[in-house]
């Protein structure tokens, strides 16, 4: 079994997908191979199989449905004990993978929210007031993901924030790592 499963959604990531795959490939280089990278695809874009092969990513074709349903289908086909959902459009912080792996080994948290960029309290407050979906990387221990039934399959952009709200309501240990 893999320690971590990292999920990228082709539709949400859009044109930045090749850059994100290259960045993730650099971060994964030198790891012991216990991390699987999965690309969820409901677009049927003929370029994706070649791109997935180039970066050593497992391509998971799925039905055209909201993000919650696509990610649930992908999680069901993954093997990681920790499920990682990187922010779809913002840069990936360089140290986040080490933080996640360290947390997994020490079981210090059930859910971890890693910011995609440096943000102050005013920015976080403004995002909360606008009820904007978080642009953060979400890491969830599979046991908790399964316990609460995964994503709401009918939700699209609100799928990740809603999952985080339910995890908090169920008393999961949520660690937010803000710089």
**Close Cβ partners of 33 (under 8 Å, ≥ 6 residues apart):** none
The pLDDT tens digits of the residues spanning 14-35 come to: 888 898 888 888 777 766 667 8
Q: What is the CATH number of the domain that holds 142?
A: 3.90.550.10
Give CA–CA dist 41/155, Å, rounded: 17
- Strands lying side by side in the sheet with 35-41: 58-61, 35-41, 4-9, 82-85, 136-141, 111-115, 174-176
Beta strand extents in 3-141 (DSSP E only): 4-9, 35-41, 58-61, 82-85, 111-115, 136-141
| 114-157 pLDDT, tens digit each | 776 555 677 666 655 655 545 578 889 999 999 999 999 999 88
Number of domains in the chain: 1
For the chain, the helix, strand and coil percentages under 3-state DSSP, each to the nearest 5: 40, 20, 40
Distance of alpha carbon 61 from its chain centroid, rounded? 17
pTM to 2 decimal places: 0.83
Residue 30 structural domain: 4-176
């Amino acid at each position: 079994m893999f320690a971590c499963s990292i999920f990228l959604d082709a539709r949400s990531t859009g044109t930045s997908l090749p850059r994100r795959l290259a960045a993730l490939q650099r971060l994964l280089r030198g790891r012991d191979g216990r991390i699987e990278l999965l690309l969820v695809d409901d677009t049927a874009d003929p370029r994706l199989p070649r791109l997935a092969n180039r970066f050593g990513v497992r391509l998971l074709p799925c039905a055209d449905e909201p993000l919650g349903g696509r990610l649930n289908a992908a999680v069901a086909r993954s093997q990681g004990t920790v499920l990682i959902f990187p922010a779809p459009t913002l840069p990936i912080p360089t140290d986040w993978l080490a933080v996640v792996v360290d947390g997994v080994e020490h079981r210090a948290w059930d859910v971890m929210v890693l910011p995609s960029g440096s943000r102050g309290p005013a920015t976080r407050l403004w995002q909360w007031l606008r009820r904007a979906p978080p642009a953060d990387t979400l890491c969830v221990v599979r046991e908790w993901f399964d316990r609460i039934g995964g994503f709401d399959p009918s939700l699209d952009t609100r799928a990740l924030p809603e999952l985080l709200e339910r995890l908090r309501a169920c008393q999961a240990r949520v660690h937010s790592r803000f710089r």
